């Protein structure tokens, strides 16, 4: 009996480890974060976001619902919902999941994704979830693939199929330290739709972990629409970057005057 109880407790601790996933303090009960970290998380989750690019709009939202970024760039996707901005403490949860061997956090992150998705006005249109693809070389060299993992689990929970519709034509180009224009050029032609996919008129929801400039998701939406998709939306864990930092210099200056 003791053995069974111990076994159940160790299973429980695998799902709900006894420390806060953000700050590491000891916890009691079935939860992922301490009270203080949860309060900060709740504040982040409640922050408004641009319905098109999911950035935090600040005071610059236009009456038609476009943020400064969307007024200076025209994206190929039709909308984006995020769980939270890519800031602490949510940033820690995402990093722990991706790189910290905390794969059990998929339950929590998919709960958050489902709650974000329920807020999307296009929720009922979606016919398939499509993960941002991983290059075959990265798959072959092993390692944890966070985006396909959460997409698969999300699809099971929501009851909409997930389809590995896209292929990368080259190894993920490095985007760090590049300007917006360089990022856009860097991902051009990086994706193709698998032959025989048959997505004419389809409404697709692309799933990703962290959206930074939006260049990758934009290239994917362009690729899917060229292959026949009618509408492409994005569901992301986190949106990085400040709107002002992403704008072309002239727009940036005029926004402040
Ligand atoms: Zn904590
Ligand atoms: Zn926007």
> Computed from CA positions of residues 36, 37, 38, 44, in that sequence, does the dihedral angle turn out positive or negative?
positive
Average pLDDT of the segment spanning 88-97: 93
The owner of tokens 């180009």 is 173
Ligand nearest to the CA of 27: 1
Ligand 2 centre distance from Cα of residue 204 (Å): 19
Give the pLDDT band (50/70/90) at residue 122.
very high
Ligand 1 centre distance from Cα of residue 208 (Å): 25
Q: What pLDDT is stored for residue 27 in this prediction?
A: 87
pTM, rounded to two decimals: 0.84
Ligand nearest to the CA of 39: 1
At residue 8, does pLDDT exceed 60? Answer: no
Ligand 1 centre distance from Cα of residue 220 (Å): 36
Q: Give residue 243's domain range.
A: 48-256
Percent share of the chain, pLDDT over 90:
53
Give the pLDDT band (50/70/90) at residue 15.
low
**What residues have a C-beta under 5 A from ligand 1, the ion?**
20, 22-23, 34, 37
Q: What are the start-end ranges of the E strands in 12-127?
A: 79-85
Give me the phi and psi of 64, to 5 degrees please. -85, 10
Is 30 inside any structural domain? no
Is 43 inside any structural domain? no
E strand or H helix at 96: helix 90-99
Average pLDDT of the segment spanning 108-118: 96
Count up the domains in the chain and report the number: 1
Give the pLDDT band (50/70/90) at residue 89.
very high
At residue 255, does pLDDT exceed 90? Answer: no
Ligand 2 centre distance from Cα of residue 37 (Å): 28
Ligand nearest to the CA of 88: 1
At residue 176, does pLDDT exceed 90? Answer: no
Is 22 inside any structural domain? no
Ligand 2 centre distance from Cα of residue 58 (Å): 11
Ligand nearest to the CA of 23: 1
Ligand 1 centre distance from Cα of residue 67 (Å): 32
Buried b (16+ CB within 10 A) or exposed e, 44-67: beeeebbbbbbbbbeeebeeeebb
185-240: pLDDT as tens digits: 778 888 999 888 889 999 999 999 999 989 999 999 999 999 999 999 999 999 99
Is 188 inside any structural domain? yes
Beta partners for residue 207, in sequence order: 131, 235
Is 28 inside any structural domain? no
Domain of 178, CATH number, reads 3.40.50.2020
How many Å apart are CA 33 and CA 29, to the nearest integer?
10
Is 64 inside any structural domain? yes
5-14, 87-96, 143-152 — which is least confidently predicted? 5-14
Is 132 inside any structural domain? yes
Give the pLDDT band (50/70/90) at residue 139.
low
Ligand nearest to the CA of 239: 2
Is 250 inside any structural domain? yes
């Amino acid at each position: 009996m003791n053995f069974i109880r111990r076994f159940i407790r160790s299973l429980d601790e695998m799902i709900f480890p006894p420390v806060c996933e953000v700050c590491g303090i000891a916890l009691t009960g079935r939860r992922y974060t301490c009270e203080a970290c949860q309060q900060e998380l709740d504040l982040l989750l409640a922050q408004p976001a641009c319905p098109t690019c999911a950035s935090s709009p600040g005071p610059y939202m236009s009456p038609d619902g476009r943020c400064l970024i969307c007024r200076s760039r025209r994206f190929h996707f039709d909308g984006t919902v995020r769980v939270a901005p890519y800031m602490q403490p949510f940033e820690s949860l995402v990093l722990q999941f991706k790189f910290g061997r905390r794969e059990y956090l998929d339950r929590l992150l998919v709960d958050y994704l489902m709650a974000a998705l329920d807020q999307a006005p296009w929720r009922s249109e979606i016919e398939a979830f499509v993960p941002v693809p991983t290059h075959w070389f990265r798959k072959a060299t092993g390692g944890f693939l966070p985006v396909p993992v959460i997409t698969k689990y999300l699809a099971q929970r929501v009851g909409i199929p997930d389809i590995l519709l896209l292929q990368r034509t080259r190894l993920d180009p490095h985007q760090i330290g590049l300007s917006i224009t360089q990022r856009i050029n860097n991902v051009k032609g990086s994706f193709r739709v698998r032959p025989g996919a048959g997505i004419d008129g389809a409404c697709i929801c692309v799933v990703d972990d962290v959206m930074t400039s939006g260049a990758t998701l934009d290239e994917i939406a362009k690729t899917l629409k060229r292959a026949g998709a009618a509408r492409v939306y994005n569901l992301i864990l986190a949106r990085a970057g400040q709107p002002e930092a992403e704008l072309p210099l002239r727009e940036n200056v005029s926004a402040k005057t």
